[in-house]
Amino acid sequence: MITLRIFADCGTRSEKHTVNEGFLPISRQDMEERGIEQLDFVYVVGDAYVDHPSFGHAIISRVLEAHGYRVGIISQPDWKDDSSISILGRPRLAFLVAAGNMDSCVNHYSVSRKRRSMDAYTPGGEMGHRPDHATVVYSNLIRRRYRDVPIIIGGIEASLRRMAHYDYWSDSFKRSILLDSQADLLSYGMGERALVEIADALAGGIAVSDLTYLAGTVYKTKDPSGVYQGILLPSYEEMKADKTLYAKSFQIQYQNTDSCTGKPLIEPYPNQVYVVQNPPQPPLTTEEMDQIYALPYMRAYHPSYEEKGGVPAIAEIKFSLISNRGCFGGCSFCALTFHQGRTIQVRSHESILEEARLLTKDPDFKGYLHDVGGPTANFRHPSCEKQLTKGVCQNRQCLFPSPCPNLKVDHKDYLELLRKLRALPGVKKVFIRSGIRFDYLLADPDDTFFRELVEYHVSGQLKVAPEHISDAVLERMGKPPRAVYERFVAKYRKLNEKLGKNQFLVPYLMSSHPGSALKEAIELAEYLRDLGYMPEQVQDFYPTPSTLSTVMYYTGLDPRDMKPVYVCRNPHEKAMQRALIQYRNPRNYDLVYEALVKEGRTDLIGFDKKCLIRPKKAVQGAGNMQKPSVHGTRLSEKAGRAQKHQASDLTGRKGTHLKQAGGKKRAIRNVHKKKTSS
């Protein structure tokens, strides 16, 4: 048993509470062993129960427990069996419902709407243990069983579907999830402070229908006249009939995601129903962040999952450290603005160091901290001084289209943190894998962090996200121009050479984003040709709820300027755009050929070093009909497999050799360099 002081500035209950060490109850037997007759809250979640601060259900449950509430977990109930929702009995205050760490449809389906083969958040990685639209299904299951118990929904799925939204998987315009789920209240964003306020209000005898005043929540009402300074959005029926109105509504929502400047938003529905979104909760202080991450997490999946081999998702985060929340990067395809907000929230050095010391004592720890970061690793403070008092700008991004003159660029705090972590006994290496915002890095006049990043924190390859190289596409993505990325690549190469390193860059690239047609896809292919790099993986644009890019995909308009945007919806054109990025893969030959002919770029078909592929006649005359992968040079099948597993040197060096099946080495222009570890 430990005593913890948490969130002293919110709630009405005592500041200090006793917290149990050990997993939270998942059965009646667990409740009896703790001497609990009735739980205050039952948390129903679509993920397996993992008691780790990278899992939302663990954080919310532990925070409530620290405030004196008794919480139990029902993980992945059988939605076809009503009794599965009652295994812990009727909660005294409310059911809490979340789909899990991912939207359940993203969890289930690839961008091509094909069923995935593995669920990393389920024991053994098995699929089929949660329904599509899990928040709605679980909530309706509870409502059938317990008609008068409050239901509070939250998590990423509810947060990003809190207002009317486009649903890619059904290709339909859906109502607020609050209505479809029959829940009483929705907590959006990260939710810790909002849930404590909800809990204290319910415990104080306030009816859930009267909880209309809490920041970071969404509620439904028949009478919105009491909403102070509310903004009336277009109605659901109007937006369903006119996509232009949805684009306009979304831009209003996007401009009201800050706790200082955000206004209540009112969305009308038929039968005089209104969904009201209150302004967001203020960002957590460093003290509050520290308190949350100091809670007694078991840092493991529940032992009942051992027989299935555990929960795969924990492997990615077991030896990683969360340093921050929020992101002011403003990428159009990212939902962070809607979920965590643009204001950076950080943990103190001591909090992170204490967690790192804890990790070094784990029997499985080998001396490597896999990551120290968050949504963007090198954001450790608000983007400018005025954010904490006046909020973020409603009509201007911090980095796009170019860094704001008021942007505060400083890596000193992050640099100091990394140095402290490297000095800990038992720590051999500290990696940064959660992504570096390279335009922010270049804006820092002090190169110390960049140099130490290259010298100490790259695990052979550094992941960065240029996403594309066409400036027209990058503008729609909210990303910096191509020239900025090329400056970064040049500087990265120079630092590696200076330090005697042979490390690589792994760029994340995206095909079929709104604004990208075949012309832009070919432009990207030519860039990769000149670079001598073929990515092993390419992400097709995935229209997930509540992003600017998804609104572009659905409406054909950019909500920021209401200008028309080209949208690739045809599956075959999507396949061609993807194939162009991987034009060296022999299986993509026909698609690449078709795309080049369609766009009148047959100049890229031939034997010149600037060509992407050879002519069909040359391919057909090759004897074994194997299609080419590199300009005019056919790799053997064995060499092709070897190339697939090699890391990529994005510095553009030439003269690399690959060994063919017969043992001879042949010089291949611009192919992958072999990876060497730092």
Say how far apart CA 661 and CA 669 lie, in whole Å: 18
Residues 222, 207, single domain; the answer is no
**Which of 393, 422, 454 is the endpoint of a domain?**
454
Residues 163, 293, single domain; the answer is yes
pLDDT reported for residue 19: 59
| Per-residue confidence band for 531, with pLDDT thresholds at 50, 70 and 90 | confident
pLDDT reported for residue 632: 35
Query: What is the per-residue pLDDT across 378-388, written as a single tens digit (0 to 9) for each?
Result: 999 999 988 87
Query: What is the per-residue pLDDT across 142-193, written as a single tens digit (0 to 9) for each?
Result: 999 999 999 999 999 999 999 999 999 999 999 999 999 999 999 999 999 9
pLDDT reported for residue 656: 32
* Percentage of the chain exceeding pLDDT 90: 83
236 in a structural domain: yes
Say how far apart CA 511 and CA 521 lie, in whole Å: 7
Residues 252, 365, single domain; the answer is no
Residues 357, 418, single domain; the answer is yes
The answer to whether residue 224 scores a pLDDT higher than 70 is: yes
Residues 52, 159, single domain; the answer is yes
pLDDT reported for residue 536: 80
Provide the domain count of the chain. Answer: 3
Query: What is the per-residue pLDDT across 611-641, written as a single tens digit (0 to 9) for each?
Result: 999 998 776 665 444 444 444 333 333 333 3
Look up the CATH number of the domain holding residue 365. Answer: 3.30.750.210
Say how far apart CA 279 and CA 400 lie, in whole Å: 25
The answer to whether residue 659 scores a pLDDT higher than 60 is: no
Residues 103, 249, single domain; the answer is no
| pLDDT, mean of residues 591-603 | 97
511 in a structural domain: no
The answer to whether residue 434 scores a pLDDT higher than 90 is: no
486 in a structural domain: no
Between these two residues, 335 and 435, which has the higher pLDDT value?
A: 335
131 in a structural domain: yes
| Per-residue confidence band for 664, with pLDDT thresholds at 50, 70 and 90 | very low
**Which of 422, 454, 486 is the endpoint of a domain?**
454
Nearest Cα neighbor of 185 from 227, 145, 213, 225 is 213
Query: What is the per-residue pLDDT across 252-272, written as a single tens digit (0 to 9) for each?
Result: 999 999 999 999 999 999 999
| Per-residue confidence band for 650, with pLDDT thresholds at 50, 70 and 90 | very low
Query: What is the per-residue pLDDT across 371-430, written as a single tens digit (0 to 9) for each?
Result: 999 999 999 999 998 887 899 998 899 999 999 999 999 999 999 999 999 999 999 999
pLDDT reported for residue 644: 37
**Which of 386, 421, 454 is the endpoint of a domain?**
454
143 in a structural domain: yes
| Per-residue confidence band for 7, with pLDDT thresholds at 50, 70 and 90 | low
| pLDDT, mean of residues 531-552 | 92
Residues 231, 330, single domain; the answer is no
The answer to whether residue 660 scores a pLDDT higher than 60 is: no
Q: Which residues span the domain enclosing 122?
A: 1-211+283-308
Nearest Cα neighbor of 321 from 343, 272, 354 is 354
Which of 29-38, 58-67, 471-480, 630-639 bottoms out in mean pLDDT, i.e. has the lowest?
A: 630-639
Residues 267, 337, single domain; the answer is no
Residues 98, 225, single domain; the answer is no
569 in a structural domain: no
| pLDDT, mean of residues 279-290 | 96
pLDDT reported for residue 123: 98
* Percentage of the chain exceeding pLDDT 70: 88
pLDDT reported for residue 537: 80
127 in a structural domain: yes
Read off the DSSP letter of residue 73: E
Q: Please, which residues have CB within 8 angstroms of residue 473's CB and are 6 or more apart in sequence?
A: 513, 515, 516, 520
- Residue 583, SS3 per DSSP: coil
What mean pLDDT value characterizes the chain?
A: 89
Between these two residues, 627 and 197, which has the higher pLDDT value?
A: 197
Residues 225, 123, single domain; the answer is no
Per-residue tokens: 573: 């054109």
Residues 54, 153, single domain; the answer is yes
Q: HEC profile for 505-562?
A: EEEEEEECCCCCCHHHHHHHHHHHHHHCCCCCCCEECCCCCCCHHHHHHHHCEECCCC
Residues 143, 107, single domain; the answer is yes
The answer to whether residue 609 scores a pLDDT higher than 90 is: yes
467 in a structural domain: no
